[in-house]
């Protein structure tokens, strides 16, 4: 096969970034709010007065102090210790969660004072690049909350990951050694247990009942400062984060910092609606955006761990990507909504149900799929073997399929980055694949890109790519491509393949 077909997924993403399809500038790190050190500062909630709806009418503010006094004793401090493999440059060889972890300014000297590499605390530059590996002490702190009087506690999986010893400290200063009953890295939820009785318990609410703009409260141990309280509002719901597609996060502006991980997000009725998990930050500290795992997700994981010791998530067996306006124009969708199927796992649940690349999934069991991230979050909470009804948009009209979900493997549902619109003509020089090239690329048909210019090049298409389909129609010859492009109104969606990886790319032809 032509050597120009040999692309890696990393090169594919890099090429798309260079083409402007995936934003490469101003990259911001997702930080787990899991503290390794004791610093200073306790966040204080700022309470704003609402504008009167009518003369002399005022909106009552939540009584944060009453909520804290009543339910604060059910929030615990969690400290962990153990060893972790780190590279000689101080980075974490275990990889941890799939997020970039930046070392906050000034922290390098702090670590040096104790003769420890930065990676020993789960923070560090790079991701295990060279230098070999060594065992280093790992210590950290997080938060959790009690959900049963006999000592069952919910926290984040990344708080206890790799820990040899877990210690729970209550607000009355009693300390207990905890046992990790189980942890689910897919959702970042862990369940631990202490040997105690008649403990205070956090009441559980519903994240589905939350409204954007509603007040919420966080209690935890930021930077090791135990039982710190911060407050804010719900900024958004159903957020999908990179490599965290199984969780529809609650976004808030509650001040969450390292050490808040695993602590409760509480509504104005004093009920837990989420577990504080991550922050969006350039510095490693709070910058106004934090994320919490919905309590429904956490309880599902808890029940599975208590019953079976592990969690078995369902899978559909597709890779999907975002539907933007260019894709909507290409597939004649009424609105740019849904999950665009770019790859279907051979003999997987989706394949057996009849799903094809180019289909747009619009609903599952009657629940709308607005953004592509809605799909893995919904499927991940179902049970393997469950039958689901899938509404799709195919070849310009709606259709419906039924699938029996499988069990999630290492290569589960993925979310590919969406591509952006570009102007100009198609600008592609194509030729049919030779038999040996088809065999090596593992495709039945398709056209090889010998030269890319104009709009296609700006969209990220390059020499050596294989065009598998156009607007969801598999292509076998150049005349077919010309016919499809001639009928397009504004843009066409090209399904391209590089080294076995596929992604839809929209090209504006208007």
Q: Out of 143, 221, 235, 261, which one is annotated catalytic?
A: 261
Compute CA 180 distance to the chain's CA centroid, rounded to the nearest angstrom. 24
CB burial string 79-88: b at 16+ within 10 A, e below? bbebebbbbe
Question: Which two tokens mark 412?
Answer: 């589960």
CB 16 within 8 A of CB 22: yes
CB 341 within 8 A of CB 360: yes
Q: Catalytic annotation on 261? A: yes
Long-range Cβ contacts of 111-115 (<8 Å, 24+ apart)? none
Q: Out of 34, 158, 300, 422, which one is annotated catalytic?
A: 158
Burial of 172 (0-12, 13-18, 19+ CB in 10 A): exposed
Q: Catalytic annotation on 188? A: yes
What span, in angstroms and rounded, lies between the C-alpha atoms of 298 and 115? Answer: 37
Q: How many CB atoms neighbour CB 7 within 10 A?
A: 20
Q: How many CB atoms neighbour CB 311 within 10 A?
A: 21
Q: Catalytic annotation on 439? A: no
The structure tokens 């799903």 sit at 355
Tell me which residue of 182, 277, 267, 218 sits closest to 75, measured CA to CA.
218
Q: Out of 188, 329, 359, 374, which one is annotated catalytic?
A: 188
- Sign of torsion, CA 334 339 342 345? negative
Residues classed as catalytic:
158, 188, 261
């Amino acid at each position: 096969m032509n050597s120009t077909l040999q692309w890696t997924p990393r090169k594919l993403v890099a090429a798309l970034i260079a083409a402007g399809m995936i934003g490469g500038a101003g990259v911001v790190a997702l930080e787990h709010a899991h503290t390794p050190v004791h610093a200073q500062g306790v966040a204080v909630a700022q309470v704003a007065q609402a504008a009167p709806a009518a003369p002399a009418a005022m909106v009552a503010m939540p009584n944060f102090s009453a909520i804290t006094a009543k339910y604060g004793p059910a929030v615990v401090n969690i400290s962990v210790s153990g060893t972790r493999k780190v590279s000689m440059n101080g980075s974490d060889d275990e990889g941890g969660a799939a997020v970039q972890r930046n070392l906050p300014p000034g922290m390098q000297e702090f670590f040096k004072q104790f003769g420890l590499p930065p990676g020993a605390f789960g923070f560090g530059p790079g991701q295990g690049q060279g230098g070999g590996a060594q065992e280093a002490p790992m210590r950290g702190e997080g938060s959790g909350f009690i959900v049963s009087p006999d000592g069952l506690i919910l926290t984040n999986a990344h708080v206890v990951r790799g820990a040899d010893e877990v210690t729970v400290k209550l607000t009355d200063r009693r300390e207990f050694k905890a046992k990790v009953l189980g942890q689910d890295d897919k959702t970042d939820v862990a369940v631990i247990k202490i040997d105690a009785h008649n403990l205070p318990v956090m009441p559980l609410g519903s994240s589905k009942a939350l409204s954007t703009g509603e007040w919420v409260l966080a209690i935890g141990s930021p930077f090791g400062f135990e039982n710190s309280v911060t407050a804010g509002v719900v900024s958004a719901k159903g957020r999908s984060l990179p490599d965290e597609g199984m969780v529809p996060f609650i976004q808030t502006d509650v001040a969450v910092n390292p050490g808040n991980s695993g602590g409760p997000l509480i509504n104005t009725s004093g009920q837990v609606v989420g577990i504080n998990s991550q922050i969006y930050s350039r510095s490693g500290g709070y910058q106004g955006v934090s994320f919490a795992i919905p309590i429904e997700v956490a309880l599902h994981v808890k029940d599975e761990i208590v019953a079976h010791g592990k969690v078995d998530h369902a899978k559909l067996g597709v890779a999907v990507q975002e539907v933007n306006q260019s894709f909507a124009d290409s597939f004649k969708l009424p609105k740019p909504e849904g999950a665009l199927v770019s790859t279907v796992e051979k003999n997987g649940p989706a394949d057996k149900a009849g799903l094809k690349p180019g289909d747009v999934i619009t609903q599952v069991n009657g629940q709308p799929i607005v953004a592509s991230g809605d799909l893995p979050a919904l499927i991940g909470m179902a049970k393997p073997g469950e039958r689901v009804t899938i509404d799709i948009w195919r070849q310009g009209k709606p259709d419906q399929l039924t699938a029996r979900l499988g069990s999630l493997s290492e290569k589960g549902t993925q979310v590919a980055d969406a591509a952006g619109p570009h102007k100009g003509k198609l600008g592609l020089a194509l030729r049919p694949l030779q038999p040996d090239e088809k065999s090596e690329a593992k495709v039945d048909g398709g056209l090889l890109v010998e030269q890319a210019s104009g709009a296609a090049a700006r969209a990220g298409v390059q020499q050596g790519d294989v065009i598998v389909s156009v607007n969801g129609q598999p292509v076998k010859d150049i005349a077919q491509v010309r016919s499809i492009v001639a009928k397009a109104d504004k843009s066409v969606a090209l399904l391209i393949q590089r080294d076995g990886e596929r992604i839809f790319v929209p090209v504006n032809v208007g």
